[in-house]
Amino acid sequence: MPIETSSASRNTDMDLIPRLLDCRGACAALGGERPISRATLHRLTKAGLLKVYRLTPGMVRWSAQDIADYLNTVATTGTREVTAT
């Protein structure tokens, strides 16, 4: 007898992997109406405030969740000078 599950409890492949943003998407997410520059995105990454995911040698992405966490920290502390965890 097969086990029945509700559609709400089923996971899809997309639920299991974090949403990854390209450079344009990450800049837009960080800047809102006024996207930040690529240089600023790379400075945040180099400072360890955002993690970069290398998919191939020429393709990098940033996690939407990491960006949301960073923005929440900035909003909570009122400063962009936050330490990476």
Residue 46 falls inside a structural domain:
yes
Asked if residues 59 and 65 have their Cβ atoms less than 8 Å apart, the reply is no
Structurally, how many domains does the chain consist of? 1
Residue 65 falls inside a structural domain:
yes
Residue 4 falls inside a structural domain:
no
Please give the pLDDT value at position 5: 46
What torsion do the CA atoms of 19, 24, 30, 34 make, to the nearest 10 degrees? -150
Indicate if the pLDDT at residue 82 is higher than 50.
Answer: no
The residue behind tokens 């949301």 is 68
DSSP state of 38: H
Residue 35 falls inside a structural domain:
yes
Residue 48 falls inside a structural domain:
yes
Name the more confident of 14 and 24. Answer: 24
Please give the pLDDT value at position 44: 93
Asked if residues 65 and 28 have their Cβ atoms less than 8 Å apart, the reply is no
Residue 2 falls inside a structural domain:
no
> Any residues with CB less than 8 A from the CB of 74 and at least 6 apart, and which?
80, 82
pTM for this one?
A: 0.69
CATH number of the structural domain spanning residue 58:
1.10.10
